[in-house]
Amino acid sequence: RNISSYELSNSLAVRISFIKEGDKTHFPIALSSVFSKYIRERFIKNINEFFATKIQNLKPTKGYAYKIEKFIEVTNDVRKKYDIATNCFLRKRDSLLRLFD
């Protein structure tokens, strides 16, 4: 399937659609993709800068799921001190959904 659509049950007729490789054929999708990547990079930069002021010689993270475990481990004490939830670093669907519960 090239398009998956969902209707939100607790809203006023909101339909969300996902178009496979939509950024190749729809300029607004491509633009939002570039913007999202930029925002993500800024967010990761801010995370790295924050923790670098708290932990000496900390290797910066790029935020990818397969490499984040070490960063989570190294930043554990600082995250506890500032009450920063681990799931803020995880790119998992259930982690994101819990943020909105």
Q: What are the residue boundaries of the structural domains of the chain, listed by start?
A: 3-99
Q: CB-hemisphere CA count at 13 Å for 39? A: 6
Note the pLDDT of residue 70: 86
For residue 27, give Cα distances in angstroms to 21, 45, 65, 97.
Answer: 12, 27, 28, 28
Q: Mean per-residue pLDDT for 2-17?
A: 84
Question: What sections of the chain are H helices per DSSP?
Answer: 27-52, 68-74, 76-81, 93-99
pLDDT tens digit sequence for 41-85 = 998 899 999 999 999 999 998 877 777 788 889 999 999 999 888
Question: What sections of 27-67 are H helices per DSSP?
Answer: 27-52
Note the pLDDT of residue 69: 81
Note the pLDDT of residue 67: 75
Which comes out higher in pLDDT, residue 71 or 91? 71
